[in-house]
Amino acid sequence: MSDFTPNEMMTIAAARSLTNEDVCFVGIGAPSAACNVARLTHAPDITLIYESGTVGTKPDVLPLSIGDGELCDTALFTVSVPEMFRYWLQGGHVTTGFLGGAQIDRFANLNTTVVGDYDQPKVRLPGGGGAPEIASNCGQIFITMALSKRGFVEKLPFITSMGHGEGGNHRERLGLTTKGPTRVITDLCILEPDETTKELTVTSIHQGVSREQIVENCGWDIRFADHVVETPVPTENELRVLRDIHARTKRAHQGEA
């Protein structure tokens, strides 16, 4: 088996979460890589949607942004942004949303707005974009983020996208009928919300990673499930597909394609 990096393990583990039947709202960056690896391996019939309005897109290279022409050029069809959100997303036609974020808390709420005080932040982040609506209206949400104390924090300074709120049945109390985050895939492990409390719990640990590493890289007292498995390592084909699409993307964005 070939060597692989923690980020490659994270992307491939995330890709495996998707199925042929999914209609997936894709975020830019790591979520986009995972979704397209799934499309090019075990889920060729997956429908990928980006918030610029492209439906059924099959990019040959990963997009720089939702406005990347590659998405429209390879889409089955393109609709207006209002139609994308009002009909497709809010209409309940999207099974899965794939998101990332700058920060996450133990209940899978995401922050992409500010680090520090809102009025005088240490860092001003890009903002929510369509993520708050995706988090609320997709059937379920998968999240990809590298595990670090900077990103996995005890308390968010700002909640941009609703996960499980304060835990328990908070989503239900707010009138949300979708599942919310069901899996968080990191470079060290996979977390899933506890069935009752909705607190993120480690259910799978990647090969070569210790529990101590996970504890050291999380900003809260992270919990482990009663039965924790080892994440299957990437196959040769999964690694080849992921590396090929990154190589094509690099050549295209450097103007060599």
Question: Which residues are marked as active site?
Answer: 51
Calpha distance 94→71 (Å, rounded): 18
Alpha helix locations (H) across 16-123?
A: 30-40, 69-73, 81-83
CA 83 to chain centre: 23
Q: Are 78 and 54 in contact (CB under 8 A)?
A: yes
Tell me, what amino acid is at 125? Answer: L
Calpha distance 13→233 (Å, rounded): 9
Tokens of 194: 């506890």
Q: Are 110 and 132 in contact (CB under 8 A)?
A: no
Give the dihedral sign, CA 157/132/37/205: positive
